[in-house]
Amino acid sequence: MIIFNTKIILSLIIGLLFSGIALYFTFINIPLEGLTEYITTINHWWILPSLVFALISLVLRVIRWQVILKPVRKTGFRQAFHPLMIGFMINCVFPGRVGEIARPAILYKRDGIEFSKGLATVVAERIFDLIALFVSFICILMCIDINRDLDITFGEYHLTTSTLNTIWATTLATSIILIGMILAIIISRSRSMISRTIMRSPDMLIFADNHIKEKLRAGICAKIVHVLNNIAHGFEVLRNPKDIVLCLLHSFLIWGLVVLSLYVLAFGYPGISISFFEAYTVEIIICFFIMLPSVPGYWGLWEAGGVFGLLIFGIPAKEAAGLILIYHLIHVIPVIIIGIGSAMITGVNIFQSSRNGEKALHIQEEQNK
């Protein structure tokens, strides 16, 4: 029996809203009949190498997680593979991205690894992904040639070359700030100073009474400090600089393979010709889009990001939608199949694992207050 709490239901509602809007703007000007006809003209043999690259990227994710888990407990490939794939599969079928907390819950139940430490390794993974994406985006925008007369409309958004330049400058500034914040958080002395400042911040509300201040301190401030501690713990498990470098290299390789999956798939699509760097840009835009709340599997936002990115390089909307739809399926269907297989092999109850993850996270939040 599936039990959804209020947070999961709210996440689903918000995700449906964002995904619905994204789907509407993506396909509003694309005739369904024309899109279906176009998909029948593609060379489906290119799906095979695209799928192979996608699967290899998943293998590298497992290896990277092994490196991150090593200071906590040395883990074999199979021990890391099954929880990771089950977690990814849960993200594809359940709202709220509960697969991220189900993964450490599985480690706790199966291997006795403390939930907070398992969660910290997942946080570290996501930070490595963000660093790789931001650095790649900055480098790629310096390499690709954008049409100076670019002027496209996507739903309510109007994109020009000046807009892209603004995005590039903002991303560069964000990356510098992000790296600075990570350094400040992982250094214990500066993290303690930041935490004290956050917990004392309600005292600045001179017109608020003590009850409101304490409520803010125990609620919002404590949660922010909790997030900062999770990020710090994620990097504290990687005390060896070689492991950090190795994880960064794996992260760039992972995203390079994901991009290769899109790049080679485009070979089979009439009317689509993009370079590897252009495909990389499209992939990064997809990642930015799916950071927003969405339905399980990121449907809608994935398509919106992909079509939006391809429009930048002059790919017509119909062709772009056809490519991105198949590309999305290549990255979702295998994950669901493999994740279900992993759950069957390990005897993991995916519904209970999701619930256990929520309970463990709630207990940890209570302990940190």
Cβ-based neighbour number of residue 197 at 10 Å: 10
Kind and range of the H or E element at 367? helix 350-368
Beta bridge partners of 322: none
- Cβ proximity of 156 and 142 under 8 Å: no
Residues 219-246 have pLDDT tens digits of 888 888 877 776 676 666 666 778 888 9
Contacts of 367 (CB under 8 A, 6+ apart): none
Which residue matches tokens 């994935």?
Answer: 302
Residues 163-206 have pLDDT tens digits of 666 766 776 677 677 777 777 777 778 888 888 888 888 888 87
Residues 142-161 have pLDDT tens digits of 777 666 666 666 555 556 66
How confident is residue 85, by pLDDT bands cut at 50, 70 and 90?
very high
Backbone phi, then psi, for 113, in 5-degree steps?
-75, 125
Residues 244-262 have pLDDT tens digits of 889 999 999 999 999 999 9
Predicted TM-score (pTM) of this structure: 0.78
Q: Please, what sign has the CA dihedral across residues 214, 215, 218, 223?
A: negative
Which tokens go with 64? 């990277």
Please give the angle made by the CA atoms of 324, 56 and 101, to the nearest 5 degrees: 80
